[in-house]
Structure 1
Amino acid sequence: MPSAFQIIECQKLNVLIVPTKIAFRRRRMNILKMIKLLIFMSEGKP
């Protein structure tokens, strides 16, 4: 059986994952643009 700690951790993950899934469905293009921007910034290209 999973411990209380594991259950709490799973609930924390669900709290993060569910809104991102909903946002991803609603405005997929905006999220893709944001990801591209993050990759662009992390690479540090001019």
Structure 2
Amino acid sequence: YTLNGSIQKIARNVFVLAPSNIDIVSDNENNLYSKDVANWELDD
């Protein structure tokens, strides 16, 4: 996270930390709070 990564809050007290070459993608922010898994994309 400290090397240009990102942090996303996905639920109360739940965060996802990802390196700079990984994007956390959701069509709708509300989807992140459901039981569905967020899509992950690798930046080449």
Instruction: Give the TM-score of the pair, scaled to structure 1.
Output: 0.24
Instruction: Give the TM-score of the pair, scaled to structure 2.
Output: 0.24
**Quick check: which one's strand share is greater?**
2
The structure that has the greater radius of gyration is: 1
